[in-house]
A and B are shown apart, each in its own frame.
Chain A
């Protein structure tokens, strides 16, 4: 089972601030993902990476950016937070070679932008 860590768990911040949501995994998974989820809604893929120096935008347009300099680390950055960015952000990774793309999730970051 994967160990996925996300910090902070909760963040309340004012409009216009720059924030970075951290995500790390200790299992050496090549594939990592960022999802955004609002209550009662499905998980929307906003970014993914298939390995170091590989990043792609997901199905839901997002103003955030990501980087993948190390296999274990996949941070997400918002240059200027807005109230519309208020949501839960979930990071995941998947086991190399697993059929079906079984993903393991971190605990999430609940972001509130005032």
Chain B
């Protein structure tokens, strides 16, 4: 069963408008969330993250919002640019039971197309 869910496999947005990518999670032990961007035939690139003690983190055009009660986070891209067209993965982590280590649990990704 998916612990991290990205229910929209694809999203199409006009250049200059806002892109909103959504992510839901089921495990209440997750305390850190990350967004990655992936182009075809390349590895994922880290974009932005947020700790569960915050509800918002902003970095340039990218803002991540976290709603812990709803177990929901979203990535906002404003303004969207054609170069933002890629697959966006949401990932979550929690401390493992043994030791001081973490693993990332990944969503299936949302393919964003920004049209000129």
Chain A interface (Cβ within 8 Å of chain B)? 4, 6, 9, 31, 40-43, 45, 48, 50, 58-59, 90-92, 99-108, 110
Contacts and interface: CB of A to CB of B under 8 A. Distances in A.
Interface of B: 2, 4, 9, 31-34, 36, 41-46, 49, 51, 89, 93, 101-104, 106-109
B106 A105 contact: no
Contact of A92 (B2, B4, B41, B43): B43
B43 A108 contact: yes
Nearest to A110: B41
B42 A103 contact: no
A100 B34 CA distance: 8
Contacts of B109: 40, 42
Nearest to A6: B43
A43 B42 contact: no
Nearest to B36: A105
Given A40-B108, A42-B108, A99-B32, A4 B43 contact: yes
